[in-house]
Chain A
Amino acid sequence: MESRRVLILSGPGLLAQGMRSLLELDPDIEIVGITSDMGRAAEIIRERQPGVVVVDGDLFRIGLGDRHREIRLDKVRTLISLSQEDNLARVCHIEDKPLKEVEDLIEAMSE
């Protein structure tokens, strides 16, 4: 199976590193970067072309329709915004998926 390249858009610390450690348990997932800087995120998307961007929704408000001058999110196949408050993974703003296990997040990335 082709490896799924994932960019994590989150502040530094235990949340982002914890997500990395969970997702890297899946051999088909490659974390191409972790950053909270939009400029750096744009570079990573250009250079590494992740198919999935996982966003800490408590820090960032991003949608696929956004045309931020630094990021072309239309290059990204799947955008997942995490709401820790609600324990939800919002996939491309189309539907909310309950987030109880890391497998729920991985399943959302496969859609």
Chain B
Amino acid sequence: MEKTRILLADDHILFRKGLAQLLNSQPDFQVIGEAGDGLEAMEKAREMMPDLILMDINMPRCDGRAATRLIKSELPYIVIVILTVSDDEQDLFAAIKNGAQGYLLKKIDPEELFEQLRGMSRGEAALSRLMANKILREFSRETQATTLGSGSPLTDREEQVLALVARGLTNREIAVSLVIAENTVKNHLRNILSKLHLGNRVQAAAYALREGLADADSAQEHLARNN
């Protein structure tokens, strides 16, 4: 079984060691390295090329926000999930804007952590329901009831895919809904992200909400159905 190779970035040694032990107990995860601050995380990411980084926010020398931005700009394929004690909305929004593909709190159970990380390989974002609701509320406040104009860079099919992403559907669910192959969905999503200069599906969902392609209620309904 191919394991997800994980780099841990956290300045709290005992937490980091314990987390490594928990992850290494799972057959599909392997902790390949540890970093005590954002700069060390950047160096080790270049050296070890992990699949995933679990990144704390508050670290010395270079915090997790800056490290996320630096790593995503140089190594965009690496998935970064913030793992923090902070449930502050500003930290959450900053993390997403910097390119993080997930935001989890340290108070979650190990089993929930494992499932969230496994979900990422299925195209899901690693977000607790609480954090997802905060994102939806934020963009609901900013959303104008507009539609994309004739100058939209997206095709009709791409707009359909984007609307379903904003409702929280996985690629497989989108494929079933639109009666197309899952690989076709992935291709559409790649094109959408490229055309709109976005980094990941969480940013795509936020864009769709902002442009009125989907509404917060349907997104919350999907969350309620799946949690």
| Chain A residues with a Cβ under 8 A of chain B | 11-15, 17-22, 25, 82, 84-85, 87, 99-102, 105
Contacts and interface: CB of A to CB of B under 8 A. Distances in A.
A14 B19 contact: yes
A19 to B, nearest CB: 5
A100 B11 CA distance: 11
A17 B15 CA distance: 10
A101 B109 CA distance: 23
A99 B22 contact: no
A15 B106 contact: yes
A105 B105 CA distance: 25
Interface of B: 11-15, 17-19, 21-22, 25, 83, 105-110, 113
20 contacts: A13-B106, A13-B107, A14-B18, A14-B19, A14-B83, A14-B110, A15-B15, A17-B18, A17-B22, A18-B19, A18-B22, A18-B110, A20-B18, A21-B18, A21-B21, A25-B21, A82-B14, A84-B14, A87-B11, A87-B13
A15 B113 CA distance: 12
A18 B14 CA distance: 8
A84 B15 CA distance: 8
A105 B134 CA distance: 38
A100 B13 contact: yes
B55 to A, nearest CB: 14
Nearest to A23: B18
Given A18-B19, A21-B21, A13 B14 contact: no
Contacts of B17: 18, 22, 101-102
Contact of B25 (A15, A21, A100): A21
Contacts of A11: 107
A84 B12 contact: yes
Given A19-B14, A84-B12, A105-B14, A13 B19 contact: no
A14 B14 contact: no
A21 B22 CA distance: 7
Contacts of B14: 15, 18-19, 22, 82, 84, 87, 99, 102, 105
A12 B107 contact: yes
Nearest to A15: B15
Given A84-B15, A87-B12, A87-B13, A17 B25 contact: no
A62 B135 CA distance: 38
Nearest to B107: A13
Contacts of A100: 13
A25 B108 CA distance: 22
A14 B21 contact: no
A67 to B, nearest CB: 28
A91 to B, nearest CB: 14
A52 B166 CA distance: 50
Contacts of B15: 14-15, 18, 84
Contacts of B22: 14, 17-18, 21
